[in-house]
Structure 1
Amino acid sequence: MQRAILDMKNLITLISATLIILGFYGRFGLGNMFVFDLSLIIATVIGIAPIAIQAYQALKVKVISIDVLVTIAVIGALLIQNYEESAIVTFLFLFGSYLEQRTLKRTRSAIKELTEMAPESALKQNAAGEFEEVDVDDVDEGDVLLVKTGAKIPVDGTVLTGEGHINEASITGESVPVSKMNGSEVFAGTILENGTIQIKADRVGEDTTFGQIIELVEEAQDSKSEAERFIDRFSKYYTPAVLVLGVIVWLFTNNVELAITVLVLGCPGALVIGVPVSNVAGIGNGARNGVLLKGSEVINDFSKVDTILFDKTGTLTIGNPEVAEKKFYGDDMDEVLGYLASVERESDHPLAKAVLQDIGPTTFSDVDETEVVKGGGIIAKVAGRRVAVGNVALMEKENVELNETVRKDLKRFEKNGNSLVLTAVDGVLQVLMGIRDQIRPGVKAELQNLKKLGVKNLVVLSGDNQGTVDAVASELGLTEAYGHMLPEDKSAHLEKLQSEGQIVAFVGDGVNDSPSLALADIGIAMGTGTDVAIETSDVVLVNSDFSRLTHALGLTKVTARNMKQNITIAVGVVLILLAALLFSNWMNMTIGMLVHELSILVVIFNAMRLMIYRRRNRNVNANATVG
């Protein structure tokens, strides 16, 4: 019975409004007070039913909610035969609840739109080599799928054959189609605007980028910030305090109507709804624009960040380095390069891939007794020879002689901004390679935008040599640069800054960044980074678009400001109403409830402005269109 009444709340609101109109028509149109009183009494009784049920449910769990205050106030108004106010207050409360739910649905529209974008079927290649339509849940990793023009990509995968242009707005927030060809990576939920392609499924279901986005946004919207938890605690004590105040007013004044009016005016509706709706709207905006904010608490902390630490490779740089310079010190280089390629083939490090690409076709040998030296490189047995591949520290550990000529070469390579890869065979240096990565396009401008948003310190921490790191920092205008940093060194530096009172964000993409991402006040992972980096972070920049970082910081700042505005509006309305009750003669229960419901709508519409937040000029200015 209770469930049925609550499900009919919107219909009850409509009936209540109709009865109130009928009552006033009876009084002023027909001059019939009986019709007036009867209509308003019925409207009150019908209207108070769902409110009283909600009040009862709250009291069962020992919570004095707003519904309790309204129920007591309306029953009191009925007892003193103030039918006009009892009916109107009930209707306004129900109508306000209806409008509140309608507008809240709009702030949650981002997750609804994401869910609707999820692909439902796929064309899967069967054993006969033909493609048949199957449910997307029946697709497994390794399956070959066909995607035609206008269709959604059903999984994360790699293009096997064909070419086309894909709209990746659901993943990156950008509607400009991206060209895809053999070997290109594609994402679930994106749309093939033209062309026909075959893809191999790499990640399916919830493991796809799109599936993770939906999961993260759902979790974030259900989370609560410290501000929300404070307001929950505040309301827990505030609402009973209003009830006590109403009783005290009645005892001292013997004025039941005044006491009831205090209950109505003291309702903290806008205060309870103001912060959650701002958070939901901010998280929804981020999801639409390639920024995943993992919860309401992240918004508050990120908005206060004054120092951002960056990993270099894959974060400030593209992460696809190439050999820029090399120097040979031995004679039989073909054999040595074969040993080097054999060792690097065992690694998936970006520098190893660059070395292999530079060497090209060669003769590979069996690799035995491989030892990975943390922060140094690799030592292995190749064709019975001891081969060490890594940085200067590894060479010194292996007692490899670095003569004056080599030292000069090292210094020159470092000055040119290279990462150094040295190769020694049986304790003798044979090869020096200088490898450089390309700066991500637009990074310099976005770093300047971060400064405009109030970030004081921009620092790069890298395992590369100091010369390389300094070159990158100089080019990008960073505040500080630190090279030769092991993962534990990065974490230690981060903790040192935190101990000095700085609020620190860390941006990275690799497994070695995970400790720092977890320790930072805000951990920010590039979307194409490793799963563990994304898992331990607070913010994910989808598709590794660096411009999303500026959008994310700007968004959290306007969201935090929006929360404060809503709290001010809510508290201000209560104070003004109580002051009007004490110092004027025009304030009554109906006006108070009307103002309360309007204040709830004001904070909701104020929060909804966050849904359209964007920076005015992404490359020049980071100011917001929402204040």
Structure 2
Amino acid sequence: MSDIKTWMRGPWAVPIGSGAAILASFAAAHLVTSRSVVALPWSDALMIAAASIAGIPVILKASRALTARVVGIDLLVSIAAIGAVAIGNYWEAAAVTFLFAVGHALESATLNKTRSALAELVAVAPDIAIVMRHGLQVEVPAGSVANGETVLVKNGAKVPVDGVVTGGTGALDEASITGESMPAHKTLGDTVFAGTISTSGFLQVSATGVGADTTLARIIHRVEEAQDAKAKTQAFMDRFSAWYTPAIIALAVILGLATRDIVLALTLLVIGCPGALVISIPVSIVAGIGRGAKDGILIKGGEFLETSARIDAVCVDKTGTLTEGHPRLTDVFSLDPAWDRDDVLRIAAQAEAGSEHPLARPILDAAAQAELGTIGLPEHTEPMPGKGIVATVDGHRVAVGNMALMASESDSGAHYDAALVRVDALSGAGRTPMAVAWDGQIIGIVAVADEIRADAAEMVRRLHGAGVKKVVMLTGDIERVARAVGDQVGVDEVRAGLLPEGKLEAVAELQSQGYTVAMVGDGVNDAPALATADIGVAMGAAGSGVAIETADIALMRDDLLKLPQAIALARRTVNNMRQNIAVALLTVVTLLAGVLFGGVTMAVGMLVHELSVLVVIANAMRLLRDRGANLAKNREQQGSGQSRPASLIKPSGSISTMSPEPS
């Protein structure tokens, strides 16, 4: 009984009931004998019943819309159906309402398919978890796991929580989160996400995120919001429909009064339904955002999807974006005979111990590896944005940074000139040099380097292939180092030595030149530029709730090639929207011409109208196929005979104590 009630409330109950009544009416009309004159009223009654079954829900919906002062498609169909019944055109009334009901049911079914990415995400959400409580394995609802509890993930099971591996090893299918098809190997200390699936091994996971606090839940929430968010074109179409529908009603009234042909006026109402036009934009947006979600690309909404399709300039940070983001110490030099290289490294490490700058870590790591003893904290630390750091160590003033900092911290003497030469040579080699000063005297140089990502140059090539005119590297690093990286990667422009405000100004300058700018950064020192850019892109957002919620585009995996893929997807989606609008407008114009010049009936018009709606939806569903990215990839590979660039800095087993002699 419950199944029957569920089916009766489903989208197909109305069209099936109406269709059955229409067939019964035809049967009553054709199975009568010549002596049976009572069958005709039965045929008409069944046709009216068919129109009522399909038409009453439409009339009720139109009435509710009118109470909210909305004049929509349902009102056009309601007036046409009621008018057809009033003048005795029962077949026309039944055909119009039946076809409208069928179209509505098909539309619901196909729209559900365009939301398949969201449905798949919801489907992978885990229901149960196995946790260790009091030394026993206990099966509990996934939402009842407490943070800090140990969760067991066995082979073939879904990970029920976000967490950190505390024991065991295994491989997880993370496609639902990152879009990566290859399983990711997990071992002690690695992060895992709810909804991923174990393909091998056995993991013990300490829960850090449960229920709505998991990365999967945040992704589902973002996709839901994004698919419902309206693009500018869609908002325009909504405003257009608000004026268009009353205009069609007014035109039908005028045409009916002028021609005294009520059938013509009612037919005009049906033909003028802008159904395909209204649905042409949202169905493409839903499909495009769904395709992106499947590929690990979260787009905030329709407006950002449209803007992304216009991107023709991309600004990227160097450290952590074009490079691996894990710099290491490569060189240590002493410029003063009173200090050896261990002294220089130890003093630099003591000053950097109070710094949160990314380049502090490799200096501290190198000092620990060299076993220079305990590196204590400085008494005082003063960051110098864009220059370095000044610290008080054992009562002495220590400065570690670029030559701009040294110009204000040290005297100008032989060591200063030697430092300039050494810094220039290191910069030319693609390294980031930092001078070390002790109480105003430069005593040495340390240098660090970061390896260029293997796919950085490929990303730039694909961005150009996707229609991006200019790729600009924005970095706070010195000019020589930035140029060395830029030349390897193939960016169009390098802007170095920038403070956060300088990156913002660079983005604003490109916008003033007419570019639509996307900014890719780490969201910390790049925050002003990310906020100013037309599109802010966060990379490696898996597990980062802030990035998922705030970025215009969040690339769930730390994969540079996802960026050109996202832009290509946006362009495909907008092109799809334009195709749908063209189909919808052509259909309406053709049918209106057919009504005015004769030959198109009410039933034929509704049939063509519903077919156009299905064509629009089917066209949008093409976006769900992962064909565009693969074709673009193949074209890029065929069009480029160059191999990927080697890393700028080759890993070495030891820290260099000498550099090439400057020329």
Give TM-score scaled by structure 1 length: 0.94
Aligned residue among 285, 309, 312 for 1:306: 312
Alignment match, 1:200: 206
- RMSD over aligned CA atoms reads 2.2
Distance 1:163 1:8, change over 3 A: closer
TM-superposition CA deviations, 1:295-319 (whole Å, max 9, x none): 0001111111111111111111121
TM-superposition CA deviations, 1:57-114 (whole Å, max 9, x none): 0110111111111000001000110011111111000110000001000101111111
Alignment match, 1:373: 384
Alignment match, 2:464: 451
Measure the CA separation in 2 of the matches of 1:558 and 1:309. 22
Distance 1:455 1:52, change over 3 A: same
The one-letter amino acid of 1:63's match is V
Instruction: Name which of structure 1's ranges 397-406 and 468-477 shifts more when overlaid on structure 2.
Output: 397-406
Alignment match, 2:571: 557
Distance 1:209 1:422, change over 3 A: farther
Measure the CA separation in 2 of the matches of 1:289 and 1:254. 58
TM-superposition CA deviations, 1:519-543 (whole Å, max 9, x none): 1111111124976555442101112
> Residue 164 of structure 1 contacts residue 192 of structure 1 at CA under 8 Å; is this kept in 2?
yes
> Residue 514 of structure 1 contacts residue 533 of structure 1 at CA under 8 Å; is this kept in 2?
no
TM-superposition CA deviations, 1:457-504 (whole Å, max 9, x none): 011000111111111110111100011011100101111111111111
Alignment match, 2:645: none
SS at match of 1:543: coil
Instruction: Name which of structure 1's ranges 257-266 and 513-522 shifts more when overlaid on structure 2.
Output: 513-522
**Paired residues for 1:149-298 under 5 Å:** 149-298=155-304
Alignment match, 1:412: 425
Q: CA deviation at 1:429?
A: 2.4
Q: CA deviation at 1:553?
A: 0.7
Alignment match, 1:515: 528
Measure the CA separation in 1 of the matches of 2:432 and 2:217. 37
Aligned residue among 30, 33, 43 for 2:32: 30
Alignment match, 1:65: 72
> Residue 338 of structure 1 contacts residue 365 of structure 1 at CA under 8 Å; is this kept in 2?
no
Measure the CA separation in 2 of the matches of 1:307 and 1:22. 64
Measure the CA separation in 1 of the matches of 2:7 and 2:611. 25
SS at match of 2:12: helix
Distance 1:394 1:187, change over 3 A: farther
Instruction: Name which of structure 1's ranges 396-405 and 89-98 shifts more when overlaid on structure 2.
Output: 396-405
Q: CA deviation at 1:199?
A: 2.6
Give TM-score scaled by structure 2 length: 0.89
> Residue 146 of structure 1 contacts residue 199 of structure 1 at CA under 8 Å; is this kept in 2?
yes
The one-letter amino acid of 1:211's match is A
TM-superposition CA deviations, 1:43-66 (whole Å, max 9, x none): 112221100000100110111111
> Residue 527 of structure 1 contacts residue 534 of structure 1 at CA under 8 Å; is this kept in 2?
no
Instruction: Name which of structure 1's ranges 379-388 and 466-475 shifts more when overlaid on structure 2.
Output: 379-388
| Residue 449 of structure 2 corresponds to residue 399 of structure 1 | no
Measure the CA separation in 2 of the matches of 1:4 and 1:240. 36
Alignment match, 1:430: 443
SS at match of 1:544: coil
Q: CA deviation at 1:606?
A: 0.4
Q: CA deviation at 1:131?
A: 4.4
Aligned residue among 323, 331, 349 for 1:325: 331
Aligned residue among 14, 17, 23 for 1:15: 17
> Residue 304 of structure 2 contacts residue 535 of structure 2 at CA under 8 Å; is this kept in 1?
yes
Task: Name structure 2 gaps, 5 residues minimum.
Answer: 34-38, 638-663
> Residue 328 of structure 1 contacts residue 431 of structure 1 at CA under 8 Å; is this kept in 2?
yes
Measure the CA separation in 1 of the matches of 2:123 and 2:10. 27
Instruction: Name which of structure 1's ranges 227-236 and 418-427 shifts more when overlaid on structure 2.
Output: 418-427
Q: CA deviation at 1:211?
A: 2.5
| Residue 471 of structure 2 corresponds to residue 469 of structure 1 | no
Task: Name structure 1 gaps, 5 residues minimum.
Answer: none
SS at match of 2:476: coil
| Residue 591 of structure 2 corresponds to residue 577 of structure 1 | yes
Measure the CA separation in 1 of the matches of 2:6 and 2:158. 40
Instruction: Name which of structure 1's ranges 90-99 and 163-172 shifts more when overlaid on structure 2.
Output: 163-172
Instruction: Name which of structure 1's ranges 552-561 and 387-396 shifts more when overlaid on structure 2.
Output: 387-396
Q: CA deviation at 1:393?
A: 2.2
The one-letter amino acid of 1:456's match is K
Measure the CA separation in 1 of the matches of 2:528 and 2:214. 24
Alignment match, 1:358: 366
The one-letter amino acid of 2:90's match is Y
> Residue 27 of structure 1 contacts residue 36 of structure 1 at CA under 8 Å; is this kept in 2?
yes
SS at match of 2:111: helix
> Residue 449 of structure 1 contacts residue 621 of structure 1 at CA under 8 Å; is this kept in 2?
no
SS at match of 1:505: strand
Alignment match, 1:81: 88
Identity of aligned residues (%): 43
Alignment match, 2:660: none
Measure the CA separation in 1 of the matches of 2:210 and 2:321. 26
SS at match of 1:421: strand
Measure the CA separation in 1 of the matches of 2:239 and 2:322. 43
> Residue 526 of structure 1 contacts residue 534 of structure 1 at CA under 8 Å; is this kept in 2?
no
